[in-house]
Amino acid sequence: MSKARPIVIGVTGGSGSGKTSVSKALMERFKGHSVMLLQQDFYYKDQSHLTFEERLETNYDHPQAFDTDLLIDHLKKLLAYQAIDKPVYNFNDHVRSKETIHEKPRDVIIVEGIMVLEEKALRDLMDIKLYVDTDDDIRIIRRIKRDMKERGRSLDSIIHQYLSVVKPMHEQFIEPMKKYADLIIPEGGENHVAIDMIATKIEKILESKA
């Protein structure tokens, strides 16, 4: 008897919404179990053919910034219980690293990123779709803190990018993805009730595959 395919959970929401916190909270709950996290941020297109100045002008909050075909291909392989070599993205230089991360398949795959529900071909591979919904003012504060601490960016550049790119892209692409979600989670990682509900669902899936 063939093994049932893995379960895929998509987690999306705007930049700074708390989708990563939700995903990591679930990963922490199931440490040591057959659960993996596949982050869309690893799948930005390589920009090494552009000058550094041109890379800075790239709209990284647009669906076309991502190598969605590769993400779909890797997810299909994982669904067939095949290992993948996940790309690594260098956010300082805005290029794909020559290094990769070898990922073995798992029974539960959490796919997380700002655009994971935008492409129908990717959505169709998901069994559960979550949208993390957080107020704009909280999201921009979180983005400022993250980009200054983790990506070494100036406050002026973060605010300029938010107003000129992030906010309009959120309104055009991310906000409309709510209609595809099975569950909308307000306040992200702070919503322990929602995380408990999802964790219970994952427990049942793992038990059924044991």
**Total count of domains within the chain:** 1
Q: What is the pLDDT of residues 26-65, one digit of tens each?
A: 999 998 899 999 999 999 999 999 999 999 888 999 999 9
In a domain, 1, yes or no: no
Between helices 19-29 and 192-209, what is the axis angle to 10°? 50
In a domain, 49, yes or no: yes
In a domain, 180, yes or no: yes
pLDDT at 1 over 60: no
pLDDT confidence of residue 12:
96
Q: Looking at per-residue confidence, does 116 or 92 come out higher?
A: 116
pLDDT at 3 over 80: no
pLDDT at 210 over 80: no
Half-sphere exposure of 205 (CA within 13 A, CB side): 22
CATH of the domain at 113: 3.40.50.300
Q: What token pair was written down for 141?
A: 């504060």
Q: What is the pLDDT of residues 147-176, one digit of tens each?
A: 898 888 899 989 998 999 999 999 999 999
Instruction: Give the domain range for residue 162.
Output: 7-209
